[in-house]
């Protein structure tokens, strides 16, 4: 069984019962003109995780680890978008408004698609989620259990919002969760550092964190 040095201690996993959950590697968060920028964020801060996330995807594909992509997306009629989410803050463009990459955070719009380096391959599962967590109104738990998945490896954006929320949801459902450091990023580097620290604190209260090289070495 592959085993790696992680924080707070060794993490062991069986590739056949492990899935990679790549969170929201979408143009809406990573490129100018999308949801992230409309909220006032410097989206260039997320660029650093794109190449490591692509390497993590390639590693998992090469070793038969199931790959699941999530995207934060709403229906064009916004029936799945609570007003509290749409109206919060002082965004320059709100969810559903038309921006340079199409309607903000709306399923099927160009800006809602994945960045090319992290695009799903044929046959991989894509989960559209209306919330920050990957388990909220998605059926993800049922799909994972049907495949016998017990361990989840996480990457994606942003670390302290959708990645952390999804990892906490997964932890509460009994999955053994590992977050890969370089494959995730935040608009706020201090929030990323705090998230990694709080995940692994208290003996792994939410799960484990590890560098990509440690995960790769475990699979070699």
CB atoms within 10 A of CB 190: 9
Annotated active-site residue 141? The verdict is: no
Is 81 part of the annotated catalytic residue set? no
Please state the separation of Cα 85 from the chain's center in Å.
Answer: 19
Work out whether strand 11-12 and strand 66-72 pair parallel, antiparallel, or are unpaired.
unpaired
Site pattern 43..72 for ligand C5J (x: CB under 6 A) = -----------------------------x
In the range 94-153, which residues lie near ligand C5J by CB under 6 A?
A: 132
If binding is defined by CB under 6 A, does position 158 make contact with ligand C5J?
yes
Token duo for residue 29: 């968060």
How many chain residues bind ligand C5J (CB under 6 A)? 8
Distance CA 77, CA 84 (A): 16
Active site residue 172: no
Q: How far apart are CA 121 and CA 166, in angstroms?
A: 22
Residues 215, 36: Cα–Cα separation, whole Å? 29
129, 132, 181, 192: the catalytic one is 129
Q: Which is nearer to ligand C5J, 4 or 53 (CB)?
A: 53
- Angle of CA points 173, 162, 83, to nearest 5°: 105
Annotated catalytic residue, options 162, 177, 181, 192: 162
Indicate which single residue of 11, 13, 29, 135 sits in contact with ligand C5J (rule: CB under 6 A): 29
> Binding to ligand C5J by residue 161, rule CB under 6 A?
yes
162 touches ligand C5J (CB under 6 A): yes
- Token pair for 55: 């390497």
Q: What is the contact surface with ligand C5J in residues (CB under 6 A)?
A: 24, 29, 72, 132, 157-158, 161-162
Residues with a known catalytic role: 24, 129, 162
């Amino acid at each position: 069984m592959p085993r790696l040095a992680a924080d707070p201690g060794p993490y062991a996993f069986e590739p056949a019962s492990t899935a990679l959950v790549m969170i929201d590697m979408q143009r809406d968060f990573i490129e100018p003109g999308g949801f992230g920028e409309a909220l006032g964020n410097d989206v260039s801060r997320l660029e650093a995780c794109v190449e490591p996330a692509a390497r993590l995807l390639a590693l998992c594909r090469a070793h038969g680890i199931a790959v699941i992509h999530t995207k934060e997306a709403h229906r064009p009629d916004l029936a799945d978008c609570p007003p509290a989410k749409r109206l919060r803050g002082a965004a320059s463009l709100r969810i559903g408004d038309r921006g340079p990459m199409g309607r903000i955070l709306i399923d099927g719009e160009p800006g809602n698609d994945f960045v090319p380096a992290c695009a799903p391959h044929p046959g991989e599962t894509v989960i559209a989620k209306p919330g920050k967590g990957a388990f909220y109104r998605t059926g993800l738990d049922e799909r994972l259990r049907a495949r016998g998945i017990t361990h989840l490896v996480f990457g994606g954006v942003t670390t302290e919002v959708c990645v952390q929320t999804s990892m906490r949801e997964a932890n509460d459902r009994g999955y053994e969760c590992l977050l890969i450091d370089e494959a995730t990023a935040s608009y706020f580097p201090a929030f990323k550092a705090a998230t990694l620290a709080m995940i692994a604190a208290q003996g792994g209260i939410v799960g484990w964190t590890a560098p990509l090289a440690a995960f790769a070495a475990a699979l070699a």
